[in-house]
Structure 1
Amino acid sequence: MATSLERYGRSLRDDVEDTAMLFPMYTVAAGTLLRMTQVDAHEDMKARGELVVFSEDLGRATFISHQWLSKTHPDPDFRQMPILQKALKRLLSGAGSVPLDPVTESFVRTAKPLPMQDLQKQALFFWYDYISCPQLQRDTRANDSTDCGQSRAISSIHAYIAKCYFFFALCPVLDCPLQGKVLTPATWSSRGWCRLERAARELSSKSTWILIQSETSIEIAGTALSFLSGSVGEGDFGKAGDRQKLAPVMRNILMQKLKLCLRVGDLPGFRRHLNLQAVHLRGLETEPVTGLLPCEADGGDDAVARFLHQNGLTGLNEADKSGWWPLHYAALGGDRGVLRGLLEKRVDVNRRTSKDEPMLGFPLWTSSLDVAVFYKHPEATQLLLAARAHVVGGVTPALQVASVANNSEGIRLLCAAGARPRGRDVFGTNGLEVAAAYGAMNALEELVMQARPSSLELSRMLWASCIFRAGSAELVQRLIDLRADVNFQLNVPRDCRPLGRLFFAGKSLQHRFGWRTVLTAYAYHLHGSTPLMQALRSAQFEAAAALIAAGARLDLRNARNWTAADFLKGQAMPCFLQLGLGGDAAECRRVASLARADGYVEIRF
């Protein structure tokens, strides 16, 4: 028998998705963008006839998410746009595919690299905020305060993104000494406006996006773990009022996601995002989306009955087709009343999922405790621990999940319940290394206090901080100050468990026989690699600058006889690294110092 949720979803099948644009979608054609020598405002480009109101019969649209290099202009010295231009030329003229980032390749079994041919099939048109949205706050010609369309354009961001076939996150490492900052992928991820754009993409029907770190470092991100961010309301804003501007936009994005899930019959997806509203809307003054289902017998004052009804769940002890149980969905939202009610009805607190959830980054055998600590629900975590939730089990211990999420309070609760700070997962990685790999500074400091790691453990943490996206100058310097060896070389037999050694051996073998991906290249060059080698391999140029400034040796070789410089052969790199790898560390010291003292202020639109 169909649930109320399924019946309601069928009633939406013929509805048109509400992604109406309140302001036209002005774009710039690829040819025009490639010829640009400066970034001009919307009004100037429109006056020259260089903007095109996009429609799908023209080709495919691409949304460009990026950071502003100054308070009043996104790229005043034309430093960021040339990187996009060079990357675009490579994509439009090259063969092969855009590779998956290593986490997507590891976790999302259905993910595929993007053939460059897909970018070349149809004409491309680009949406870029400064070009596509009005920049004047007043209509000066009329000498009044008539809205020139900026606020309407802001309210249409989710509609623009829904219309875009591709989404580019332009995140090069750029030092901006006059503004006292260094831009990196991590700073992009922390900005409130960028978080909104990413959320709109990941909650749309096309969830994957393309990360551009340099003209040669281009990857597909396909899971939340590829690049941890945070809620829009907890992001950084140059103007405090901008946070509330985005509250109705974010709520509308969620509403459209929930309706989309129902329209296509994705009931597990609906349940995930219905319960994740507490996370998505953190820091925003707006009401959650409620009342999507008819109020037939919703349980009155019974929190559990209402929860089951609104989620279209028919029983307490039944998993849905995604392998998730009611307690897992309740843990997503962290509602203490619902969780207590479920536990009072004797649901199994230690029941684990029977399938993975790759888009959110949860592996097979995830527990409700794992979910609660990942989404930073301290009261829910306390309740589950009081109900004797296991702190270990599954693929990774709960403490490592808390480390990924930078949940220092969760780590304290877990350690008090018996979790071991040095506990390792099936691959041999511990929470200290996970926190370092994800740049989770709060979690790292808590774990350092709890575990008091040795110099070898700190060195492994420094190496881990450079393998992925966490390599900030601040993190590198902190670990060196704690006694990490800047020239540490990974020893796979010593530092990995048998399953980890087997996994990396298999990936290395694939690389040797011609299956070249980001992950197989990582595995192939793993043994004997240094933090500097890993930072250069993964285009973490801020970390590389900090390591060179701290005296990292340039002559060390890994098991493949590669030096650090070999990882950048044929690759684009900033001038400060060219000098640093040539033996002149002065510019690397300047950039590392600037990054540690980052006083970034962002104003969008």
Structure 2
Amino acid sequence: MGNQACSEGCLSDPLAANFRMNAIHERLFPMYVVKVSDFLQMEGAPRPHNVLRDEGLLHEWYPGMFAIFVSHQWLGASEPDPEGKQVEVLRSVLRGFVDGSLQVEPHVASMVYSGFVPTWPSSMSSYIAHGFLFFDWFAIPQITARQEGVNEQETKSEAAKAVQSIPAYVEACSLFLVLAPELLHIETKKLCNYSTWLSRGWCRAELWLWLLSNRADTSVVIVFSATEAEFMVQSDWQDNSIAGGDFTVPADRAVVCKLGEAAAAGKQRHLQSRGPIDAFRFFLAQKQKFLDSQPEPWNEEEFVARLRFESMEDAARNRDGMNGLLCGVYAGDVRLVRRLVDLQADVNRRVRGLGEFGLYDGMTPLIIAARSNQEPEVLRTLIDLRADVGIRVKHTGLGPAGLLRTAAHVQVLLDARADLHSSELPMGLNPLSSIAGHATAEAVAAMLAARCSPNPPLRGVGCGPLQAIAVFARGKRDAATKALMLMEARADLNVRACPSGFFQRLCQSARVRAALWGFDSCATKTRFLASLPGITPLGMAALVGDEALAELFLEAGAEVIPNDRGDTPDVLAAANHHTRLAASLAVVHF
């Protein structure tokens, strides 16, 4: 992700960032961490706080310490990882980081769409090797892990203080790591993965407390398997507000909202005093949306003062970065949008230099309004003010129709007679294929009702909507619902990807690198591109490790078809260490 000051797309010096930070949250209980080197020597299920304390393996955090915050979903009711499968993945990943065999790679969307691609600096190997790990089961006294002779009420009190201190623990760390391999919950037998992690209220709260911390770089690393780690794509946090997750205890939502308000206020003060101004305006303009609170309309004087413009005329004339019109769009205020356009703001002005927020060079306010899931009235207002509904981003070929989010967005573009069918190079994705992975299921249904073909001509990246759903399924709980809709609309379940032009050359280059380095040993994105030609929706689901989608495709009658390299779905799953899925697909294969 690489927010704010990391202008060259790499993680800034983690220790230096710690020293520059001003703490927002109070620490009510000491922050206990475990040495990475000690953790790598452990085996089996994770041992609780009291055991590690007695073994002398807990260390109290101090300023300047490089600590990794591990956010994860529990796989048991009374302990986080009863079989030790989750922490074994973590150990494998940390070993890979330390010896340099594993790099954190950008999301496919960042590689394809954006000019802002974060990278993993080589210095991280040393930081991690000599670093420490914050893992809740290690750090927080647990009443479920009973210890003879210890007062239960005292343990409860300490645990409560530690839980209340989680915001302080998050902001004290130097790296935020999401541990989300595909594993089954030990009691419910339900699949736990990145999408379920993202749906959990406290997991999402931890994420947002990290994003709203006063650090130069708030990159988030997601661990999908023992060999696959990537930077979180911006849309995954922008589309999931801090209080919008699922809470076991409903009252926790209010607690999280209060924490978010405090963190957002601290972030605002920090950016206002130190900049950059684009980040300040980006977060402030949509603060209420991020916090899931009722928006408070600004009058013109408040808009100018709070967003640090000299006047409304200055906001309208401003052409660079987070200009006045973009701030009005993100605030969702159609009155301000109309006023700014009256003052000569350019409704078709293409943005530049905002890739760190997921805004690709060449996007217009209308495209951004669709992409950021603004209310349909914002899109309608921009169109009324002569926003071009057919405009495309040059380096992707995508326009507003290819980045919309909801059924209401579809209707707005239909009313404006926008083209919902054709594609342009270099991506070559028609709007339905483009939105399939990101938009709501209702939006996909609306596109199908508008006679968008579920089997469009393939060019550019060469993928249809079913492959697109598989690529972007991680983090999307409705992926299977959308896939089922497309199959009911007679989408070809066995369609083979057919990259052309620039993407064909990219895939050919990746196949050469995969042959030189070994398919199982090459970088994850190299493996992805090498696998792309000829891959089916089932193959794509196997490659990204989506068990639910793979099962759905098989139940619907998907054939086991190799890609152009000759890799069958079980081979693709095994290459990315999705071991359980690989085993089940191997049975189907043979």
Shift of 1:248: 1.6
Structure 2 residue 550 is matched with structure 1 residue 553: no
Shift of 1:26: 1.5
- Aligned equivalents of 2:494 and 2:330: distance in 1? 41
Secondary structure of the 1:213 match is strand
- Aligned equivalents of 2:237 and 2:343: distance in 1? 37
Pick which of 512-521 and 308-317 moved more. 512-521
Structure 2 residue 230 is matched with structure 1 residue 216: no
- Aligned equivalents of 2:298 and 2:225: distance in 1? 54
- Does the Cα contact within 8 Å between 1:62 and 1:125 map onto a contact in 2? yes
Structure 2 residue 404 is matched with structure 1 residue 402: yes
- Does the Cα contact within 8 Å between 2:180 and 2:223 map onto a contact in 1? yes
- Aligned equivalents of 1:451 and 1:149: distance in 2? 59
Residue of structure 1 equivalent to 2:367: 370
Relative to structure 1, is the Cα distance of residues 96 and 129 closer, same or farther in structure 2, using a 3 angstrom cutoff? closer
- Aligned equivalents of 1:254 and 1:402: distance in 2? 27
Shift of 1:320: 5.8
- Does the Cα contact within 8 Å between 2:543 and 2:572 map onto a contact in 1? yes
Secondary structure of the 1:390 match is coil
- Aligned equivalents of 1:584 and 1:534: distance in 2? 15
Secondary structure of the 1:434 match is helix
Pick which of 31-40 and 508-517 moved more. 508-517
Trace 1:306-385 onto structure 2 (pairs within 5 A).
306-314=302-310, 315-319=314-318, 321-322=320-321, 324-353=322-351, 355-373=352-370, 374-385=372-383
Structure 1 unaligned regions, length at least 5? 1-12, 289-300, 494-500, 586-605
- Does the Cα contact within 8 Å between 2:179 and 2:223 map onto a contact in 1? yes
- Aligned equivalents of 1:266 and 1:149: distance in 2? 39
Residue of structure 1 equivalent to 2:472: 468
- Does the Cα contact within 8 Å between 2:316 and 2:323 map onto a contact in 1? yes
- Aligned equivalents of 2:152 and 2:330: distance in 1? 51
- Aligned equivalents of 2:160 and 2:328: distance in 1? 36
Shift of 1:214: 0.9
- Aligned equivalents of 1:480 and 1:44: distance in 2? 52
Relative to structure 1, is the Cα distance of residues 120 and 397 closer, same or farther in structure 2, using a 3 angstrom cutoff? same
Trace 1:119-518 onto structure 2 (pairs within 5 A).
119-121=125-127, 122-136=129-143, 148-176=157-185, 178-204=187-213, 205=215, 206-221=217-232, 223-225=233-235, 229-282=239-292, 284=293, 303-314=299-310, 315-319=314-318, 321-322=320-321, 324-353=322-351, 355-373=352-370, 374-395=372-393, 396-403=398-405, 407-426=406-425, 427-438=427-438, 440-455=440-455, 460-470=464-474, 472-493=479-500, 501-506=501-506, 508-509=508-509, 512=512, 517-518=523-524
Relative to structure 1, is the Cα distance of residues 14 and 54 closer, same or farther in structure 2, using a 3 angstrom cutoff? closer
Relative to structure 1, is the Cα distance of residues 581 and 246 closer, same or farther in structure 2, using a 3 angstrom cutoff? same
Shift of 1:240: 1.0
- Does the Cα contact within 8 Å between 1:23 and 1:153 map onto a contact in 2? yes
Relative to structure 1, is the Cα distance of residues 215 and 145 closer, same or farther in structure 2, using a 3 angstrom cutoff? closer
- Does the Cα contact within 8 Å between 1:61 and 1:125 map onto a contact in 2? yes
- Does the Cα contact within 8 Å between 2:66 and 2:174 map onto a contact in 1? yes
- Aligned equivalents of 1:97 and 1:240: distance in 2? 38
Q: Could you state the TM-score of these two structures normalised by the residue count of structure 2? A: 0.82
Residue of structure 2 equivalent to 1:532: 538
Shift of 1:24: 1.9
Shift of 1:145: 9.0
Q: 1:427-462: per-residue Cα shift (whole Å, max 9, x none)?
A: 221221123223632321222222353555799211
Relative to structure 1, is the Cα distance of residues 133 and 142 closer, same or farther in structure 2, using a 3 angstrom cutoff? closer
- Aligned equivalents of 1:177 and 1:475: distance in 2? 28
Relative to structure 1, is the Cα distance of residues 341 and 302 closer, same or farther in structure 2, using a 3 angstrom cutoff? farther
Q: CA RMSD in A?
A: 3.5
- Does the Cα contact within 8 Å between 2:31 and 2:61 map onto a contact in 1? yes
Relative to structure 1, is the Cα distance of residues 389 and 280 closer, same or farther in structure 2, using a 3 angstrom cutoff? same
Shift of 1:231: 0.5
Residue of structure 2 equivalent to 1:593: none
Letter aligned with residue 438 of structure 1:
H
Secondary structure of the 1:359 match is helix
- Does the Cα contact within 8 Å between 1:98 and 1:115 map onto a contact in 2? no
Residue of structure 1 equivalent to 2:6: none
Q: 1:102-149: per-residue Cα shift (whole Å, max 9, x none)?
A: 233345545453246523345221112233234449x99768699724
- Aligned equivalents of 1:537 and 1:160: distance in 2? 35
Relative to structure 1, is the Cα distance of residues 144 and 439 closer, same or farther in structure 2, using a 3 angstrom cutoff? same
Secondary structure of the 2:496 match is coil
Shift of 1:279: 1.5
Letter aligned with residue 404 of structure 2:
A
- Aligned equivalents of 1:110 and 1:349: distance in 2? 24
- Aligned equivalents of 1:378 and 1:153: distance in 2? 43
Shift of 1:573: 2.3
What is the aligned-residue identity percentage? 23
Secondary structure of the 1:97 match is coil
Letter aligned with residue 417 of structure 2:
G
Letter aligned with residue 265 of structure 2:
M
- Does the Cα contact within 8 Å between 1:349 and 1:387 map onto a contact in 2? yes
Letter aligned with residue 354 of structure 2:
E
- Does the Cα contact within 8 Å between 1:357 and 1:363 map onto a contact in 2? yes
- Does the Cα contact within 8 Å between 2:543 and 2:576 map onto a contact in 1? no
Secondary structure of the 2:243 match is helix
- Does the Cα contact within 8 Å between 1:168 and 1:211 map onto a contact in 2? yes
Q: Could you state the TM-score of these two structures normalised by the residue count of structure 1? A: 0.80
Which of 568, 576, 580 is the equivalent residue of 1:575? Answer: 580
Which of 559, 563, 571 is the equivalent residue of 1:566? Answer: 571
Letter aligned with residue 467 of structure 2:
W
- Does the Cα contact within 8 Å between 2:545 and 2:581 map onto a contact in 1? no
Structure 2 unaligned regions, length at least 5? 1-18
- Does the Cα contact within 8 Å between 2:430 and 2:456 map onto a contact in 1? no
